[in-house]
Structure 1
Amino acid sequence: MAARPDITAWCPPVEGIAEVFHAHFTDHVYPMHTHDAWTLLLVDEGMVRYDLDHHEHGVLTHTVTLLPPHVPHNGGAATPEGFRKRVLYLDVPQVDERLIGRAVVRPVLHDPALRSRIDSLHRALAGPGDELEAASRLALVSERLEQHLRDRLDPVPYVHDSRVAHRLRDLLDEKYVEGITLREAAARLHAHHAHLVRAFSREFGMAPHQYVTGRRVDLARRLLLRGVPASAVASSAGFYDQSHLTRHFKRVVGTGPGHYARTRGA
Protein backbone atom coordinates (compact mmCIF):
# COMPACT_ATOMS: atom_id res chain seq x y z
CA MET A 1 0.00 0.00 0.00
CA ALA A 2 1.41 3.39 -1.01
CA ALA A 3 2.37 5.75 1.79
CA ARG A 4 0.19 8.80 2.14
CA PRO A 5 2.20 11.83 0.98
CA ASP A 6 2.79 14.86 3.15
CA ILE A 7 1.50 17.76 1.06
CA THR A 8 0.79 21.45 1.56
CA ALA A 9 -0.47 23.63 -1.29
CA TRP A 10 -1.92 27.11 -1.51
CA CYS A 11 -2.45 30.06 -3.85
CA PRO A 12 -0.76 33.10 -2.31
CA PRO A 13 -2.12 36.60 -2.90
CA VAL A 14 1.08 37.57 -4.72
CA GLU A 15 0.90 38.51 -8.38
CA GLY A 16 3.05 36.22 -10.49
CA ILE A 17 2.78 33.10 -8.32
CA ALA A 18 -0.01 30.73 -9.32
CA GLU A 19 0.62 28.12 -6.62
CA VAL A 20 2.98 27.07 -3.84
CA PHE A 21 3.41 23.32 -3.40
CA HIS A 22 5.41 21.58 -0.65
CA ALA A 23 5.52 17.77 -0.62
CA HIS A 24 7.29 14.73 0.79
CA PHE A 25 6.93 11.69 -1.47
CA THR A 26 8.33 8.22 -0.94
CA ASP A 27 6.86 6.15 -3.75
CA HIS A 28 4.86 8.49 -5.97
CA VAL A 29 5.89 8.61 -9.63
CA TYR A 30 4.63 11.44 -11.82
CA PRO A 31 3.43 10.36 -15.27
CA MET A 32 4.19 12.48 -18.30
CA HIS A 33 2.33 15.78 -17.91
CA THR A 34 2.64 19.51 -18.58
CA HIS A 35 1.98 22.73 -16.69
CA ASP A 36 0.78 26.06 -18.00
CA ALA A 37 3.28 27.78 -15.70
CA TRP A 38 7.01 27.82 -15.05
CA THR A 39 7.86 25.18 -12.42
CA LEU A 40 10.56 26.41 -10.03
CA LEU A 41 11.73 23.45 -7.98
CA LEU A 42 13.92 23.00 -4.90
CA VAL A 43 14.64 19.53 -3.52
CA ASP A 44 15.45 19.66 0.20
CA GLU A 45 15.94 15.95 0.83
CA GLY A 46 16.66 13.04 -1.47
CA MET A 47 16.97 13.17 -5.24
CA VAL A 48 14.52 13.37 -8.14
CA ARG A 49 14.94 11.95 -11.62
CA TYR A 50 12.78 13.15 -14.51
CA ASP A 51 12.60 13.20 -18.28
CA LEU A 52 12.17 16.48 -20.12
CA ASP A 53 11.92 16.53 -23.90
CA HIS A 54 13.31 12.95 -24.11
CA HIS A 55 16.36 13.74 -21.95
CA GLU A 56 16.89 12.44 -18.42
CA HIS A 57 17.85 14.85 -15.64
CA GLY A 58 18.47 14.69 -11.92
CA VAL A 59 17.70 17.19 -9.18
CA LEU A 60 20.03 17.43 -6.19
CA THR A 61 19.56 19.34 -2.95
CA HIS A 62 22.03 22.10 -3.85
CA THR A 63 20.60 22.99 -7.25
CA VAL A 64 17.64 24.92 -8.67
CA THR A 65 15.43 23.44 -11.38
CA LEU A 66 13.29 25.52 -13.75
CA LEU A 67 10.91 23.51 -15.92
CA PRO A 68 9.32 25.46 -18.77
CA PRO A 69 5.58 25.66 -19.41
CA HIS A 70 3.84 23.39 -21.93
CA VAL A 71 6.79 20.94 -22.16
CA PRO A 72 6.01 17.35 -21.06
CA HIS A 73 7.96 15.90 -18.16
CA ASN A 74 7.64 13.17 -15.56
CA GLY A 75 9.42 12.52 -12.27
CA GLY A 76 10.02 10.28 -9.32
CA ALA A 77 12.33 9.52 -6.43
CA ALA A 78 15.85 8.36 -7.29
CA THR A 79 16.37 6.77 -3.85
CA PRO A 80 14.21 4.46 -1.68
CA GLU A 81 13.84 7.19 0.96
CA GLY A 82 11.90 9.41 -1.42
CA PHE A 83 12.30 13.15 -1.62
CA ARG A 84 11.08 16.39 -0.08
CA LYS A 85 10.51 19.31 -2.41
CA ARG A 86 9.23 22.87 -2.57
CA VAL A 87 7.75 24.19 -5.80
CA LEU A 88 6.64 27.59 -7.03
CA TYR A 89 4.44 27.67 -10.11
CA LEU A 90 5.19 31.02 -11.72
CA ASP A 91 2.85 32.72 -14.16
CA VAL A 92 4.31 32.60 -17.66
CA PRO A 93 5.06 36.38 -17.88
CA GLN A 94 7.48 36.04 -14.94
CA VAL A 95 10.10 34.69 -17.36
CA ASP A 96 10.31 35.62 -21.03
CA GLU A 97 8.48 32.94 -23.07
CA ARG A 98 11.15 33.24 -25.76
CA LEU A 99 13.52 31.53 -23.30
CA ILE A 100 11.48 28.30 -23.08
CA GLY A 101 13.83 26.55 -25.52
CA ARG A 102 16.84 27.39 -23.41
CA ALA A 103 15.11 26.07 -20.30
CA VAL A 104 14.42 22.78 -22.09
CA VAL A 105 18.09 22.37 -22.87
CA ARG A 106 19.37 23.43 -19.44
CA PRO A 107 16.74 23.17 -16.69
CA VAL A 108 19.19 22.61 -13.81
CA LEU A 109 20.86 25.75 -12.44
CA HIS A 110 23.91 25.68 -10.16
CA ASP A 111 23.58 28.97 -8.30
CA PRO A 112 23.72 28.94 -4.46
CA ALA A 113 22.75 32.62 -4.26
CA LEU A 114 19.64 32.01 -6.37
CA ARG A 115 18.72 28.98 -4.26
CA SER A 116 19.02 31.11 -1.13
CA ARG A 117 16.78 33.78 -2.68
CA ILE A 118 14.14 31.19 -3.55
CA ASP A 119 14.31 29.76 -0.04
CA SER A 120 13.72 33.25 1.38
CA LEU A 121 10.80 33.70 -1.00
CA HIS A 122 9.20 30.48 0.28
CA ARG A 123 9.59 31.73 3.84
CA ALA A 124 7.92 35.03 2.96
CA LEU A 125 5.02 33.08 1.45
CA ALA A 126 4.57 30.90 4.54
CA GLY A 127 1.96 33.13 6.16
CA PRO A 128 -0.32 36.01 5.18
CA GLY A 129 0.74 39.61 5.62
CA ASP A 130 4.17 39.59 3.99
CA GLU A 131 3.06 39.99 0.39
CA LEU A 132 5.26 43.04 -0.27
CA GLU A 133 8.31 41.10 0.88
CA ALA A 134 7.33 38.13 -1.28
CA ALA A 135 6.76 40.32 -4.34
CA SER A 136 10.13 42.04 -3.84
CA ARG A 137 11.92 38.71 -3.55
CA LEU A 138 10.04 37.30 -6.54
CA ALA A 139 11.12 40.25 -8.70
CA LEU A 140 14.79 39.55 -8.01
CA VAL A 141 14.35 35.78 -8.45
CA SER A 142 12.66 36.23 -11.85
CA GLU A 143 15.37 38.62 -12.94
CA ARG A 144 18.08 36.11 -11.97
CA LEU A 145 16.32 33.25 -13.79
CA GLU A 146 16.24 35.28 -17.00
CA GLN A 147 19.92 36.10 -16.58
CA HIS A 148 20.70 32.38 -16.38
CA LEU A 149 18.70 31.57 -19.48
CA ARG A 150 20.26 34.45 -21.40
CA ASP A 151 23.77 33.41 -20.24
CA ARG A 152 24.29 36.82 -18.66
CA LEU A 153 25.25 36.25 -15.06
CA ASP A 154 27.20 39.46 -14.65
CA PRO A 155 25.84 41.66 -11.84
CA VAL A 156 23.09 44.04 -12.87
CA PRO A 157 24.83 47.33 -13.70
CA TYR A 158 24.60 49.76 -10.82
CA VAL A 159 22.49 52.76 -11.73
CA HIS A 160 22.30 55.26 -8.92
CA ASP A 161 18.68 56.32 -8.95
CA SER A 162 18.23 58.29 -5.77
CA ARG A 163 15.21 60.12 -7.13
CA VAL A 164 13.09 57.02 -7.73
CA ALA A 165 14.16 55.59 -4.35
CA HIS A 166 12.93 58.71 -2.56
CA ARG A 167 9.72 58.75 -4.58
CA LEU A 168 9.09 55.16 -3.56
CA ARG A 169 9.74 56.04 0.08
CA ASP A 170 7.22 58.86 -0.15
CA LEU A 171 4.69 56.45 -1.63
CA LEU A 172 5.33 53.86 1.10
CA ASP A 173 4.95 56.56 3.76
CA GLU A 174 1.59 57.45 2.26
CA LYS A 175 0.37 53.83 2.04
CA TYR A 176 2.18 51.92 4.78
CA VAL A 177 -0.94 51.14 6.84
CA GLU A 178 -3.29 50.05 4.04
CA GLY A 179 -0.38 48.73 1.97
CA ILE A 180 0.52 48.89 -1.69
CA THR A 181 1.71 46.13 -3.99
CA LEU A 182 5.05 46.32 -5.71
CA ARG A 183 3.34 46.24 -9.11
CA GLU A 184 1.10 49.17 -8.14
CA ALA A 185 4.13 51.13 -6.96
CA ALA A 186 5.98 50.36 -10.19
CA ALA A 187 3.02 51.53 -12.28
CA ARG A 188 2.67 54.77 -10.34
CA LEU A 189 6.40 55.52 -10.50
CA HIS A 190 6.85 54.32 -14.12
CA ALA A 191 9.72 52.02 -13.17
CA HIS A 192 10.39 48.28 -13.38
CA HIS A 193 9.51 46.58 -10.11
CA ALA A 194 12.93 44.88 -9.77
CA HIS A 195 14.64 48.23 -10.33
CA LEU A 196 12.53 49.75 -7.55
CA VAL A 197 13.70 47.09 -5.10
CA ARG A 198 17.37 47.54 -6.02
CA ALA A 199 17.27 51.35 -6.04
CA PHE A 200 15.50 51.58 -2.67
CA SER A 201 17.79 49.02 -1.04
CA ARG A 202 20.94 50.79 -2.23
CA GLU A 203 19.72 54.22 -1.21
CA PHE A 204 18.38 53.36 2.24
CA GLY A 205 20.21 50.17 3.20
CA MET A 206 17.03 48.09 3.52
CA ALA A 207 14.43 46.57 1.23
CA PRO A 208 11.04 48.28 0.78
CA HIS A 209 9.22 45.64 2.81
CA GLN A 210 11.63 46.14 5.73
CA TYR A 211 10.93 49.87 5.66
CA VAL A 212 7.16 49.30 5.70
CA THR A 213 7.44 46.81 8.57
CA GLY A 214 9.48 49.31 10.57
CA ARG A 215 6.88 52.02 10.04
CA ARG A 216 4.10 49.66 11.10
CA VAL A 217 5.96 48.53 14.23
CA ASP A 218 6.58 52.17 15.20
CA LEU A 219 2.88 52.90 14.87
CA ALA A 220 2.02 49.78 16.88
CA ARG A 221 4.35 50.93 19.68
CA ARG A 222 2.65 54.31 19.87
CA LEU A 223 -0.80 52.76 19.93
CA LEU A 224 0.18 50.30 22.67
CA LEU A 225 1.61 53.10 24.81
CA ARG A 226 -1.65 55.00 24.40
CA GLY A 227 -3.48 52.07 25.91
CA VAL A 228 -4.98 50.61 22.76
CA PRO A 229 -5.52 46.87 23.38
CA ALA A 230 -3.00 44.66 21.62
CA SER A 231 -5.90 42.80 19.96
CA ALA A 232 -6.92 46.01 18.18
CA VAL A 233 -3.45 47.28 17.32
CA ALA A 234 -2.71 44.80 14.52
CA SER A 235 -5.31 46.04 12.03
CA SER A 236 -4.79 49.67 13.04
CA ALA A 237 -1.07 49.42 12.28
CA GLY A 238 -1.43 47.54 8.99
CA PHE A 239 -0.70 43.98 10.09
CA TYR A 240 -2.69 41.03 8.78
CA ASP A 241 -3.62 39.77 12.26
CA GLN A 242 -2.28 39.66 15.81
CA SER A 243 0.06 36.76 15.04
CA HIS A 244 1.57 38.75 12.17
CA LEU A 245 2.02 41.75 14.47
CA THR A 246 3.60 39.66 17.22
CA ARG A 247 6.10 38.01 14.88
CA HIS A 248 7.42 41.27 13.48
CA PHE A 249 7.14 43.20 16.75
CA LYS A 250 9.33 40.65 18.56
CA ARG A 251 11.89 40.72 15.77
CA VAL A 252 12.17 44.52 15.84
CA VAL A 253 11.60 45.40 19.51
CA GLY A 254 12.86 42.27 21.21
CA THR A 255 9.65 41.51 23.08
CA GLY A 256 6.01 40.86 22.28
CA PRO A 257 3.37 43.61 22.06
CA GLY A 258 1.57 42.38 25.19
CA HIS A 259 4.67 42.61 27.35
CA TYR A 260 5.62 45.92 25.77
CA ALA A 261 2.18 47.36 26.63
CA ARG A 262 2.48 46.20 30.23
CA THR A 263 5.70 48.20 30.68
CA ARG A 264 3.75 51.41 30.08
CA GLY A 265 4.44 53.80 32.91
CA ALA A 266 6.70 51.34 34.73
Structure 2
Amino acid sequence: MPRPPALPRSDWVLRSPPSASMERIEAWFQGNAYAMHRHDTYAIGRTLAGVQSFHYRRGRRDSLAGSTLVLHPDEAHDGQAGTDEGFRYRMVYVEPALIQDILGGSALPFLEGGITNDPAISAAAEALLQGVHDVVEPLEQGDALAQLAHALAAATGGVGTRRAKAKGDYQAARRARDYLQAHANRVVALDELEAATGRDRWSLSHDFRMFYGTSPYRYLTMRRLDALRRLLLAGLSLADAAQDAGFADQSHMTRHFLKTFGITPGRWLQVIGHAPRR
Protein backbone atom coordinates (compact mmCIF):
# COMPACT_ATOMS: atom_id res chain seq x y z
CA MET A 1 0.00 0.00 0.00
CA PRO A 2 1.55 3.35 -1.00
CA ARG A 3 2.41 5.73 1.81
CA PRO A 4 0.63 9.11 1.90
CA PRO A 5 2.71 12.11 0.92
CA ALA A 6 4.80 13.58 3.69
CA LEU A 7 3.34 16.54 5.52
CA PRO A 8 5.19 19.87 5.28
CA ARG A 9 7.97 20.34 7.80
CA SER A 10 7.98 24.10 8.35
CA ASP A 11 5.71 25.53 11.04
CA TRP A 12 2.77 27.61 9.86
CA VAL A 13 -0.53 29.08 11.00
CA LEU A 14 -3.42 30.13 8.78
CA ARG A 15 -5.94 32.48 10.37
CA SER A 16 -9.39 33.52 9.23
CA PRO A 17 -10.48 37.10 9.88
CA PRO A 18 -12.09 37.23 13.36
CA SER A 19 -15.83 37.74 13.26
CA ALA A 20 -18.68 37.74 15.79
CA SER A 21 -16.34 37.05 18.73
CA MET A 22 -14.78 34.02 17.05
CA GLU A 23 -11.46 33.24 15.43
CA ARG A 24 -10.54 30.18 13.37
CA ILE A 25 -7.05 28.86 12.63
CA GLU A 26 -5.42 25.88 10.97
CA ALA A 27 -1.81 25.11 11.81
CA TRP A 28 1.07 22.70 11.42
CA PHE A 29 3.88 22.37 13.95
CA GLN A 30 6.95 20.18 14.19
CA GLY A 31 8.22 19.76 17.75
CA ASN A 32 7.31 22.38 20.33
CA ALA A 33 4.55 24.76 19.31
CA TYR A 34 3.47 26.82 22.33
CA ALA A 35 4.78 27.42 25.83
CA MET A 36 2.32 27.32 28.74
CA HIS A 37 -0.29 30.02 28.25
CA ARG A 38 -3.96 30.79 28.80
CA HIS A 39 -6.58 32.86 27.02
CA ASP A 40 -10.07 34.04 27.89
CA THR A 41 -11.94 32.04 25.25
CA TYR A 42 -13.06 28.47 24.82
CA ALA A 43 -10.63 26.72 22.48
CA ILE A 44 -12.52 24.10 20.46
CA GLY A 45 -10.25 22.02 18.25
CA ARG A 46 -9.86 19.03 15.99
CA THR A 47 -6.59 17.16 15.40
CA LEU A 48 -6.22 16.51 11.66
CA ALA A 49 -2.93 14.58 11.53
CA GLY A 50 -0.25 13.33 13.88
CA VAL A 51 -0.42 13.40 17.67
CA GLN A 52 -1.28 16.75 19.30
CA SER A 53 0.09 16.71 22.84
CA PHE A 54 -0.45 19.28 25.56
CA HIS A 55 -0.33 19.68 29.32
CA TYR A 56 -3.67 20.65 30.84
CA ARG A 57 -4.95 20.56 34.42
CA ARG A 58 -1.96 18.75 35.92
CA GLY A 59 -1.65 16.06 33.25
CA ARG A 60 -0.49 15.38 29.72
CA ARG A 61 -3.10 14.86 27.02
CA ASP A 62 -2.54 13.23 23.60
CA SER A 63 -5.08 13.96 20.89
CA LEU A 64 -5.13 11.70 17.84
CA ALA A 65 -6.48 12.51 14.40
CA GLY A 66 -10.25 13.02 14.61
CA SER A 67 -10.32 13.81 18.33
CA THR A 68 -12.14 16.92 19.59
CA LEU A 69 -10.49 19.30 22.04
CA VAL A 70 -12.39 21.53 24.47
CA LEU A 71 -10.20 23.84 26.57
CA HIS A 72 -11.95 26.05 29.11
CA PRO A 73 -11.23 29.81 29.35
CA ASP A 74 -8.30 30.79 31.57
CA GLU A 75 -6.95 27.23 31.91
CA ALA A 76 -3.18 27.00 31.34
CA HIS A 77 -1.99 24.69 28.54
CA ASP A 78 0.87 24.30 26.07
CA GLY A 79 1.23 22.47 22.76
CA GLN A 80 3.74 20.18 21.04
CA ALA A 81 4.01 17.28 18.64
CA GLY A 82 3.58 13.92 20.35
CA THR A 83 5.76 12.19 17.72
CA ASP A 84 8.55 13.16 15.33
CA GLU A 85 6.04 13.46 12.48
CA GLY A 86 4.54 16.72 13.77
CA PHE A 87 0.85 17.52 14.00
CA ARG A 88 -1.82 19.45 12.14
CA TYR A 89 -5.00 20.83 13.65
CA ARG A 90 -7.83 23.32 13.43
CA MET A 91 -9.05 25.46 16.30
CA VAL A 92 -11.88 27.90 16.85
CA TYR A 93 -11.73 30.37 19.73
CA VAL A 94 -15.19 31.17 21.07
CA GLU A 95 -15.79 34.05 23.47
CA PRO A 96 -17.69 32.93 26.59
CA ALA A 97 -20.11 35.81 25.99
CA LEU A 98 -21.50 33.88 23.01
CA ILE A 99 -22.13 30.85 25.21
CA GLN A 100 -23.73 33.11 27.84
CA ASP A 101 -26.04 34.69 25.26
CA ILE A 102 -27.38 31.19 24.58
CA LEU A 103 -27.48 29.82 28.13
CA GLY A 104 -28.67 33.12 29.63
CA GLY A 105 -26.84 33.44 32.92
CA SER A 106 -25.79 29.89 33.80
CA ALA A 107 -22.33 29.12 35.11
CA LEU A 108 -20.04 28.39 32.18
CA PRO A 109 -19.92 24.68 31.30
CA PHE A 110 -16.61 23.13 32.34
CA LEU A 111 -15.55 19.91 30.62
CA GLU A 112 -12.81 17.96 32.40
CA GLY A 113 -9.93 16.43 30.52
CA GLY A 114 -9.58 18.65 27.45
CA ILE A 115 -10.41 15.86 24.95
CA THR A 116 -13.86 14.43 24.32
CA ASN A 117 -15.60 11.82 22.20
CA ASP A 118 -19.07 13.16 23.00
CA PRO A 119 -20.96 12.90 19.67
CA ALA A 120 -23.01 16.09 20.16
CA ILE A 121 -19.93 18.17 20.98
CA SER A 122 -18.03 16.62 18.07
CA ALA A 123 -20.87 17.42 15.65
CA ALA A 124 -21.04 21.04 16.79
CA ALA A 125 -17.26 21.33 16.51
CA GLU A 126 -17.39 19.90 12.98
CA ALA A 127 -19.69 22.71 11.88
CA LEU A 128 -17.46 25.38 13.42
CA LEU A 129 -14.10 23.91 12.38
CA GLN A 130 -14.35 24.41 8.67
CA GLY A 131 -11.33 25.52 6.64
CA VAL A 132 -10.14 29.04 7.33
CA HIS A 133 -10.93 30.03 3.73
CA ASP A 134 -14.41 28.47 3.79
CA VAL A 135 -17.35 30.84 4.07
CA VAL A 136 -19.43 30.26 7.21
CA GLU A 137 -22.75 32.07 6.92
CA PRO A 138 -24.13 33.87 10.01
CA LEU A 139 -27.09 31.54 10.44
CA GLU A 140 -24.85 28.49 10.04
CA GLN A 141 -22.49 29.83 12.70
CA GLY A 142 -25.38 30.69 15.03
CA ASP A 143 -26.86 27.21 14.73
CA ALA A 144 -23.49 25.59 15.41
CA LEU A 145 -22.86 27.81 18.44
CA ALA A 146 -26.26 26.97 19.91
CA GLN A 147 -25.60 23.27 19.35
CA LEU A 148 -22.20 23.61 21.02
CA ALA A 149 -23.51 25.52 24.04
CA HIS A 150 -26.30 23.03 24.71
CA ALA A 151 -24.01 20.04 24.12
CA LEU A 152 -21.47 21.40 26.60
CA ALA A 153 -24.22 22.10 29.14
CA ALA A 154 -25.65 18.59 28.79
CA ALA A 155 -22.21 16.97 29.02
CA THR A 156 -21.27 18.87 32.17
CA GLY A 157 -24.34 18.33 34.30
CA GLY A 158 -27.15 20.21 32.60
CA VAL A 159 -30.60 18.68 32.28
CA GLY A 160 -31.57 18.56 28.63
CA THR A 161 -30.77 22.00 27.25
CA ARG A 162 -31.31 23.93 30.49
CA ARG A 163 -29.07 24.50 33.49
CA ALA A 164 -29.78 25.96 36.89
CA LYS A 165 -29.15 29.69 37.18
CA ALA A 166 -25.84 30.55 38.78
CA LYS A 167 -25.72 32.55 42.01
CA GLY A 168 -24.41 35.92 40.90
CA ASP A 169 -25.35 39.16 39.18
CA TYR A 170 -25.25 38.37 35.48
CA GLN A 171 -26.43 41.83 34.42
CA ALA A 172 -23.65 43.52 36.41
CA ALA A 173 -21.06 41.23 34.85
CA ARG A 174 -22.46 41.99 31.42
CA ARG A 175 -22.31 45.75 32.06
CA ALA A 176 -18.69 45.34 33.16
CA ARG A 177 -17.85 43.44 29.99
CA ASP A 178 -19.42 46.10 27.78
CA TYR A 179 -17.60 48.88 29.67
CA LEU A 180 -14.22 47.15 29.44
CA GLN A 181 -14.68 46.48 25.76
CA ALA A 182 -15.43 50.17 25.13
CA HIS A 183 -12.40 51.38 27.14
CA ALA A 184 -9.81 48.71 26.44
CA ASN A 185 -7.14 51.10 25.17
CA ARG A 186 -6.71 52.89 28.51
CA VAL A 187 -6.34 52.15 32.21
CA VAL A 188 -9.68 51.43 33.90
CA ALA A 189 -9.85 52.08 37.66
CA LEU A 190 -11.70 49.76 40.04
CA ASP A 191 -13.96 52.50 41.40
CA GLU A 192 -14.79 53.48 37.82
CA LEU A 193 -15.92 49.94 37.06
CA GLU A 194 -17.93 49.83 40.29
CA ALA A 195 -19.73 53.03 39.29
CA ALA A 196 -20.46 51.70 35.80
CA THR A 197 -21.95 48.43 37.08
CA GLY A 198 -23.46 49.25 40.47
CA ARG A 199 -21.60 46.31 42.00
CA ASP A 200 -18.73 46.30 44.50
CA ARG A 201 -15.36 45.20 43.13
CA TRP A 202 -15.10 41.89 44.98
CA SER A 203 -18.59 40.69 44.07
CA LEU A 204 -18.06 41.90 40.51
CA SER A 205 -14.80 39.96 40.20
CA HIS A 206 -16.56 36.79 41.37
CA ASP A 207 -19.50 37.35 39.01
CA PHE A 208 -17.29 38.10 36.03
CA ARG A 209 -15.28 34.93 36.44
CA MET A 210 -18.43 32.84 36.92
CA PHE A 211 -20.15 34.10 33.78
CA TYR A 212 -17.20 34.84 31.48
CA GLY A 213 -14.52 32.46 32.71
CA THR A 214 -11.84 35.03 33.53
CA SER A 215 -11.15 38.17 35.55
CA PRO A 216 -12.06 41.71 34.44
CA TYR A 217 -8.37 42.61 34.04
CA ARG A 218 -7.64 39.52 31.92
CA TYR A 219 -10.62 40.38 29.75
CA LEU A 220 -9.31 43.94 29.31
CA THR A 221 -5.85 42.62 28.44
CA MET A 222 -7.26 40.24 25.85
CA ARG A 223 -9.11 43.04 24.10
CA ARG A 224 -5.82 44.96 23.93
CA LEU A 225 -4.11 41.90 22.48
CA ASP A 226 -6.86 41.54 19.88
CA ALA A 227 -6.25 45.14 18.82
CA LEU A 228 -2.50 44.59 18.87
CA ARG A 229 -2.64 41.65 16.46
CA ARG A 230 -4.75 43.67 14.04
CA LEU A 231 -2.22 46.50 14.19
CA LEU A 232 0.74 44.17 13.67
CA LEU A 233 -0.91 42.58 10.63
CA ALA A 234 -1.51 46.09 9.29
CA GLY A 235 2.24 46.67 9.38
CA LEU A 236 2.85 48.69 12.55
CA SER A 237 6.05 48.15 14.49
CA LEU A 238 5.92 46.25 17.78
CA ALA A 239 6.52 49.44 19.76
CA ASP A 240 3.88 51.52 17.93
CA ALA A 241 1.31 48.72 18.02
CA ALA A 242 1.85 48.23 21.75
CA GLN A 243 1.29 51.93 22.44
CA ASP A 244 -1.79 52.20 20.22
CA ALA A 245 -3.35 49.08 21.78
CA GLY A 246 -3.07 50.52 25.28
CA PHE A 247 0.00 48.80 26.74
CA ALA A 248 2.51 50.69 28.85
CA ASP A 249 5.36 49.78 26.50
CA GLN A 250 6.65 47.05 24.18
CA SER A 251 8.04 44.96 27.06
CA HIS A 252 4.70 45.09 28.88
CA MET A 253 2.92 43.95 25.72
CA THR A 254 5.40 41.14 25.00
CA ARG A 255 4.99 39.65 28.48
CA HIS A 256 1.21 39.52 28.11
CA PHE A 257 1.41 38.19 24.52
CA LEU A 258 3.65 35.29 25.57
CA LYS A 259 1.49 34.42 28.59
CA THR A 260 -1.65 34.48 26.43
CA PHE A 261 -0.57 32.81 23.17
CA GLY A 262 2.50 30.80 24.18
CA ILE A 263 4.78 32.44 21.59
CA THR A 264 6.37 35.87 21.25
CA PRO A 265 4.79 38.47 18.92
CA GLY A 266 7.83 38.24 16.64
CA ARG A 267 7.47 34.45 16.33
CA TRP A 268 3.73 34.85 15.74
CA LEU A 269 4.42 37.18 12.82
CA GLN A 270 6.87 34.64 11.38
CA VAL A 271 4.43 31.72 11.26
CA ILE A 272 1.11 33.48 10.58
CA GLY A 273 -0.13 32.96 7.03
CA HIS A 274 2.89 30.92 5.91
CA ALA A 275 1.15 27.68 4.95
CA PRO A 276 2.55 25.94 1.85
CA ARG A 277 0.64 26.24 -1.41
CA ARG A 278 -1.74 23.37 -2.01
- Bigger relative CO (Cα 8 Å, ≥ 6 apart): 2
Bigger fraction of residues in helix: 1
**Larger Rg computed on CA atoms:** 1
TM-score, structure 2 length as denominator? 0.47
